[in-house]
């Protein structure tokens, strides 16, 4: 393998991956996923939290196969290319907390960095404020990095199990989805919760969602695609490598949306979005900062967890718990605006992240 | 003895950050960077190239990579 050139990690490769994701996401939306939500790691993890009953928001309960596919695809790819390496132990609980607050911020805006780009590509002007917030949050994170911020070293795990548990949990969820499908017109199977209306009821056919998730999981594992790293590396190193991927995603998604008639420019009445721009900005500032401090966007955290990174799995679990907290305590925004406790939670999250940024230091 | 950067186990972008610090400190010469993931290996090599440094040698150890970068 030593001489093997990882094409997808080249500039052309990552652009190709970005373009493919940019085509796949609007197609998933065309085939049934919620508007401007062909892929949204935060929203989809939130739906998974709902399907497990961690929150009981009736409109957002679905075991999203895309997310399961991301992890399983990255896992298979890492195995195939001998990159599966069980590891962990770099400030796991701090990462968990960063995951919780990343999700809280994302649900104040209503989308992760992936959906920020997809909302923009669908013509949603409110996402401009989210994008600027995201970049600002990442910029704040780069200041901490420059000053020596670090969560410390991971350790190579003594047991393979450390890296296997999260991918296998996803396999388990997938099996559950197949043996416990939604009974027609019912909000609950044997175990899993489902939605009868709302975003949780909107989804592409299971096998298509799963196939798309697996494909993206493989491509992203090979290319190291990361929507946060794209802006971070530009700000920190003036290096555009990952940014080319994000740019490819945006361009391809915009074109695909135009072709499919899914491009609707404007600010008012955008799907699953609100117009409280300060909170669109601050929600994504919080999310961007938390992703930067944790070393990857929510998608990248899933791909790394597939590679055996137990710390990334902890972060992803934090996001799922964060979704439950957000829905249980009124932190989540809706098309009417932010939730009753969304503002205070965002501010608390920013304070906590700044404290983490200031206190975690490389020796 | 070449400058050594041990970036094993560190999250992105710390391996690149530390490598670039060493490159800036030395200006030219040789730096040995230790990383433990393929992602970091690619990132460090890419960053070194962008600063006009070459990857002189890449050694795969049991659990990590030894990357020797240099600039004359």
pLDDT tens across A332-343, in order?
999 999 999 999
pLDDT at A1: 40
- Average of pLDDT values for A32-50? 98
Query: Which residues of chain A make contact with B44, given a CB cutoff of 8 A?
Result: none
The DSSP bridge pattern shows strands A87-88 and B54-60 to be unpaired
Residue B9: which of A2, A145, A155 has the nearest Cβ?
A155
| Sign of the Cα pseudo-torsion (A67, A68, A71, A76, in order) | negative
pLDDT at B1: 59
Query: Which residues of chain A make contact with B58, given a CB cutoff of 8 A?
Result: 2
- Average of pLDDT values for A218-231? 97
For the sheet containing B65-71, what is the strand order? B3-6, B29-35, B65-71, B54-60
For the cut 70, the answer to whether the pLDDT of residue A2 exceeds it is no
Q: Is B60 on the interface with A (CB under 8 A)?
A: yes
Confidence band of A5 (pLDDT split at 50, 70, 90)? low
φ/ψ region of A181 (left if φ > 0, alpha if ψ in -120 to 50, else beta) reads beta
Q: Is B55 on the interface with A (CB under 8 A)?
A: no
Q: Do B11 and A85 touch (CB under 8 A)?
A: no
Q: Do B47 and A237 touch (CB under 8 A)?
A: yes
Distance CA A324, CA A54 (A): 5
**Least confident span in A114-118, A159-163, A283-287:** A159-163
Q: Is B62 on the interface with A (CB under 8 A)?
A: no
For the entire predicted model, the pTM comes to 0.96
Q: Do A145 and B13 touch (CB under 8 A)?
A: yes
pLDDT tens across A276-325, in order?
999 999 999 999 999 999 999 999 999 999 999 999 999 999 999 999 99
Query: Which residues of chain A make contact with B46, given a CB cutoff of 8 A?
Result: 239, 241
Distance CA A56, CA A292 (A): 30
What ipTM was estimated for this complex?
A: 0.94
For the cut 60, the answer to whether the pLDDT of residue A4 exceeds it is no
pLDDT at B44: 97
Q: Is B57 on the interface with A (CB under 8 A)?
A: no
Residue B63: which of A156, A236, A239 has the nearest Cβ?
A156
Token look-up 């400058």 returns B3
pLDDT tens across B43-67, in order?
999 999 999 999 999 999 988 999 9
């Amino acid at each position: 393998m030593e001489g093997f050139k990882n094409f997808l990690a080249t500039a052309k490769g990552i652009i190709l991956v970005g373009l493919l994701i940019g085509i796949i996401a609007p197609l998933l939306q065309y085939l049934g996923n919620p508007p401007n939500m062909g892929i949204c790691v935060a929203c989809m993890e939130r739906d998974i939290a709902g399907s497990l009953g961690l929150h009981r928001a009736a409109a957002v309960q679905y075991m999203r196969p895309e997310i399961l596919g991301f992890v399983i695809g990255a896992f298979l790819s890492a195995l195939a290319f001998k990159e599966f390496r069980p590891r962990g132990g770099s400030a796991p609980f701090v990462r968990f907390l960063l995951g919780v607050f990343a999700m809280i911020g994302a649900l104040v805006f209503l989308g992760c960095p992936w959906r920020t780009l997809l909302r923009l590509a669908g013509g949603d002007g409110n996402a401009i404020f989210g994008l600027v917030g995201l970049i600002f949050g990442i910029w704040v994170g780069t200041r901490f990095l420059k000053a020596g911020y670090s969560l410390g070293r991971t350790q190579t795990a003594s047991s393979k199990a450390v890296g296997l548990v999260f991918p296998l949990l996803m396999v388990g969820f997938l099996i559950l989805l197949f043996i416990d499908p939604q009974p027609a017109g019912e909000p609950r199977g044997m175990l899993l919760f489902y939605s009868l209306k709302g975003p949780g009821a909107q989804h592409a056919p299971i096998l298509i969602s799963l196939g798309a998730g697996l494909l993206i999981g493989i491509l992203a594992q090979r290319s190291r695609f990361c929507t946060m790293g794209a802006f971070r590396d530009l700000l920190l190193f003036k290096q555009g490598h990952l940014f080319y991927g994000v740019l490819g995603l945006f361009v391809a998604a915009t074109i695909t949306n135009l072709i499919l008639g899914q491009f609707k420019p404007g600010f008012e009445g955008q799907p699953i979005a609100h117009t409280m721009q300060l909170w669109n900005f601050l929600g994504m500032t919080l999310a961007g900062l938390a992703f930067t401090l944790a070393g990857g966007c929510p998608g990248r955290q899933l791909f790394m967890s597939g590679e055996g990174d137990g710390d990334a799995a902890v972060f992803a679990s934090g996001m799922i718990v964060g979704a439950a907290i957000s829905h249980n305590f009124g932190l989540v925004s809706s098309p009417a605006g932010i939730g009753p406790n969304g503002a205070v939670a965002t501010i608390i999250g920013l304070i906590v992240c700044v404290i983490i940024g200031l206190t975690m230091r490389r020796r | 003895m070449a400058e050594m950067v041990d970036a094993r186990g560190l999250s992105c972008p710390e391996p690149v950050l530390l490598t670039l610090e060493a490159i800036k400190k030395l200006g030219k010469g040789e730096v040995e960077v230790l990383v433990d993931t393929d992602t970091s290996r690619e990132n460090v090599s890419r960053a070194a190239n962008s600063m006009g440094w070459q990857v002189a040698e890449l050694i795969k150890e049991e659990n990590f990579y030894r990357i020797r970068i240099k600039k004359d």
